[in-house]
Structure 1
Amino acid sequence: MKVAEIKVSYSTNQTDKIKLTNCKETFEFILSKWNLDIIEFQEECKIILVNRSNCVLGIYQLSKGGISGTVVDIRIILSVALKCNASGIILVHNHPSGNMKPSETDIKITRKLKDACELLDISLIDHVIISKYNYFSFTEDNLL
């Protein structure tokens, strides 16, 4: 009987590290990596993975959903963070409606993710909701 082999790997060839020091920088950085043609049409969720110095290790496309929601699977987020040896993560998703107010689901998933991150000594630095022109930061609004 054969058993599947599991391979875990992470590599980078990035020489110039991008350091994120505040929420506005995070918004501008992630917006430059977002498909602006669909930001007002389809909800997406991405995670920014950072090291201890808040230098970006990478961006992971977590999910694409519909007009009013997308899947946020905490196990996938944490598995990606562990594979990348990330010290911190920033959860980012867009609201196609342009309404920057977090939903009850947004608040619940943030709390659940924060608790899970703490178990693995990974910092949930922020959860940012974006639109084409604006953002909402859980950290800036003291919800994290």
Structure 2
Amino acid sequence: MEIAEIKVSYSTNQVDKIKLVNCKETFEFILSKWDLDIIEFQEECKVILVNRANFVLGIYNLSKGGISGTVVDVRIILSVALKCNASGIILAHNHPSGNMKPSEADRKITKKLKESCDLIDITLIDHFIISKNSFFSFSQDGIL
């Protein structure tokens, strides 16, 4: 009996590799990859995968939810990161309300993801909450 394998891939044939070096640049990069027509309507979560030098390997669209939440499955995040041979990840999700304050659920999932990443030597670099015009960085705020 043959067992199917789920394939996650990224292309390394980019001419210009993108290096993320600070929160402002990372926010601008994230925003450039977001559908701005629904950023204020529907919550989404994406994972940015980077190598040891913080060059972007790719972006994984993790989930789309409703107005006030979306699913963040740590096992899926880590399986994608391992499959892509990522050294670090940046989690990003939007708050359609525009309120950049992290919820208790945001704090819990960040803590759970960080602890899980530490077990397999992948760095959780940051967790961003974004809107069209603003962002909150767990790392910048000293929570991570």
Q: Equivalent residues in 2 for 1:125-144 (5 A)?
A: 125-144=125-144
Identical columns (%): 75
Q: Equivalent residues in 2 for 1:12-51 (5 A)?
A: 12=11, 13-51=13-51
Return the offset for 1:8. Answer: 5.2
* Coordinate RMSD, CA, aligned: 1.2
Q: Does residue 93 in structure 1 map to residue 89 in structure 2?
A: no
Return the offset for 1:14. Answer: 1.9
- How many residue pairs were aligned? 143
The residue aligned with 1:6 is 5
The residue aligned with 1:56 is 56
The residue aligned with 2:116 is 116
TM-score normalised according to structure 1 size: 0.96
Q: Secondary structure at the match of 1:42?
A: coil
1 CA distance for matches of 2:120 and 2:31?
28
Return the offset for 1:15. Answer: 2.9
Deviations 1:63-90 (A, max 9, x none): 0000000000000000000010000000
Unaligned runs of 5+ in 2: none
Runs of 4 or more above 4 Å deviation: none
TM-score normalised according to structure 2 size: 0.96
Cα 1:22–1:5 change in 2 (3 A) is same
Return the offset for 1:18. Answer: 0.1
